[in-house]
Each structure stands twice: as C-alpha cells, then as structure tokens.
Amino acid sequence: MSSVMPFAAPPVAFERLHGNASLFAALGFPRLAPVLNDLAAPWIAVGAWSGETPVGLALGQMQGERGCLLSLSVTPAMRRRGIGCGLVRAWEEAARAEGASSLTTGYSNRLPARAALAATLASAGWSAPRLEQISVIGETGPMVEAVAQWSSVARSLRDPGSFTFEPWRTPDAADIAALAALAAEPDYIPQMHPDEGSAPIEEACSIAVRRDDQLLGWVIGERTDRIPLDGYRDRPAIHYRSAYLARSLWHTGLLVTAYWHAYARQAEAFGPDSIAFFFTCVPRMMALTQRRFAPIALRVDESFFSFKGVLPDSGRN
C-alpha cells in the first residue's frame, strides 16, 4: 500500500516496508539499522520516497497492543515539508492495521531534534510531551560530600532516631511479609522490588532501611559495565536499580538518606571516583532530582513520553 503526497517536485510517497529495507539504513538510529535488513513482526516500518530516493523513515515495534514508535527521521534537505507528519500518520495506520489500540514514543532531552519531533507529533495529533523519567549519573565521592550538607540529610545522619541503614541481606520470613505489605501500597510499582534486576545485588552498597528490625525500605544496586556517559566508561559503576520507602515515611528525607548511605558505602568499596546512577519516574522524586541532584551530578537526563489513543492504566513504559 502506498499513497502519494502532492509536492511540487519530486512527489513524495509513503510505503509500508517489509523484508529487506536496507536502502533506508542511513535514516534513523544506527543501532536500529540492522533491523532493516529483514523487517518482520513485531517491527513496523514506513519509508518516504522522493522518486527513487529514500528520504524518511518511521520505525517502531508492536509491544502487546501498543505500537511503540522508536525512530522517526527525514533527510535534512527535505525537512519542513510535511514529510515527518506524513510518516507518523502512515506509521500509525500500519500499527493500527497490526492491532495497536494505542501509540507511544519516548525521547530524551538530549535529542537535538527534540523540538522538531514534539512539533511533528503534535501536528499528527499525539499528546503533548510529558516528563516520564529522570536519570542521574555522578561520581560517588562528590555526591556523598554534597548530599551530607543538605539539612534534612545532615539531621538524620546526626540523629537517625530508631532507623537503621544496614547492608541488604537475603530476606527472612518477616522481611518477605514486610515486602508483600509494602508492595501493596498504592504508588508502588513492580520495578521497585529488590529482586527486579538483571544482575545480582551488589552487597557492598545495597541498603535496607529498618526500624526495630522491621524492613521499611531499600536502595538496591548492581554492578554494571554499561555506563551511559563517554569518558567515564572505564570506572567501576553501580546502577541503583530499585529503591522504595514505606509510604508513611515519604517526604521525610529518609529515602535520600538511604541513598547517601548506599553511595557512601560505594565510595568506600569502589573509590570516590566510582560512578553511580539511578532512574526515577516518581513525580516528586523527579522534581527533587531536578532541583537538588542536577547541580552535583555529572549529568541528568530527562525522558519524555508522548502518546495517541487510550493507554491502559498499567503504565507508560
């Protein structure tokens, strides 16, 4: 199926791509180029042709009933002529033909064409971008020093009251019951669970928050060699993959104190110039991160999310 747009010259045609579409490999993210060698489900691609020349590509994937647009690009000389918008619309049609009831896309604040992408999606009727996730990457030593000066953290370091910040240990029966109760709290999401990760828990810097030995929260890290920052990839690094604190203790600064303990232990175990990073999608934590962590981090990245159609309640990822 293809449709032709009435441009002066040459006309631009949109075509659903199948099989070998490697002619379009120079368009879009290089890491997705291999997908174009043999396009098949769950991938959905639409190409824009100007005569015999590929000039644009929309590439994405079906994930359940959701069509996820992963890459959209128009060759620079052909921008601002409606091709990007036409690609999005043709890609939508293809995704709906595959059963998509909703369409989503995500992108980083570091994307140079972010304004163009947001405008293109808006013009195709997608939602305004909303902040979905923030990631923070930093050197442990300087962050430990800076965070210890924050008044709420300084207070709870001076006087932790009945709270303890201990190395994480394999949950016993009481911990398992506590975990189940915490997991039933309203804003808990499964990704916050201590076991939710791809690598083993790093015991040197994973923390349990307890009161009278009862488990109330945690900060869990794992070793990683995938440091998302050029110039720092040879450092030891910990990805703090999950963290949670009982809802009744939110807004007390206790979770930040728990992170401080984890980072302090990391600095001790792996050195102050070792790298730590974490992600958050909790709105208040994102606001705190932008306000307080951004000035002391090496980098803070924001991920935006836009959609069209009805999203299931279960989330935006």
Ligand X SMILES: CC(C)(COP(=O)(O)OP(=O)(O)OC[C@H]1O[C@@H](n2cnc3c(N)ncnc32)[C@H](O)[C@@H]1OP(=O)(O)O)[C@@H](O)C(=O)NCCC(=O)NCCS
Q: Which residue is nearest to ligand X (CB)?
A: 84
> Which residue among 13, 35, 44, 74 contacts ligand X (CB under 6 A)?
74
Q: Number of residues interacting with ligand X: please give it, by CB under 6 A.
A: 20
The stretch near ligand X (CB under 6 A) out of 75-83, 125-133, 178-186, 306-314 is: 75-83
For residue 111, the minimal CB distance to ligand X (Å) is 5
Q: Would you say 12 or 275 has its CB closer to ligand X?
A: 12
- In angstroms, give the least distance from the CB of 227 to ligand X: 23
Q: Does 81 bind ligand X (CB under 6 A)?
A: yes
Give min distance, CB of 92 to ligand X, in A: 14
Under 8 Å between Cβ of 141 and 267: yes
Of 61, 73, 135, 280, the residue at the interface with ligand X (CB under 6 A) is 73
Q: How far is the CB of 54 from ligand X (least distance, A)?
A: 13
Q: In the complex, what is the shortest distance from the CB of residue 53 to ligand X, in angstroms, rounded to a whole number?
A: 15
Of 68, 85, 136, 243, the one binding ligand X (CB under 6 A) is 85
Asked if 8 touches ligand X (CB under 6 A), the answer is no
Out of 54, 67, 84, 194, the only residue in the binding site for ligand X (CB under 6 A) is: 84
| Residues within window 230-269 making contact with ligand X, judged by CB under 6 A | none
- Per-residue H/E/C for the chain: CEEEECCCCCCEEEEEECECCHHHCCCCCHHHHHHHHCECCCEEEEEEEECCEEEEEEEEEEECCEEEEEEEEECHHHCCCCHHHHHHHHHHHHHHHCCCCEEEEEEECCCCCHHHHHHHHHHCCCCCCEEEEEEEEEEHHHHHHHHHHCHHHHHHHHCCCCEEEEECCCCCHHHHHHHHHHHCCCCCCHHHCCCCCCCCCCHHHCEEEEECCEEEEEEEEEECCCCCCCCCCCCCEEEEEEEEECHHHCCCCHHHHHHHHHHHHHHHHHCCCCEEEEEECCHHHHHHHHHHHHHHCCEEEEEEEEEEECCCCCCCC
Compute the least distance from the CB of residue 51 to ligand X, in Å: 17
Q: Which of residues 98-157 bind ligand X (CB under 6 A)?
A: 107, 111, 113, 115-117, 119-120, 123
Sequence-distant (≥ 6) Cβ neighbours of residue 146 within 8 angstroms: 296
Stretch that binds ligand X, among 65-73, 165-173, 217-225, 243-251 (CB under 6 A): 65-73
Would you tell me which residues interact with ligand X (CB under 6 A)?
Answer: 71-74, 79-85, 107, 111, 113, 115-117, 119-120, 123
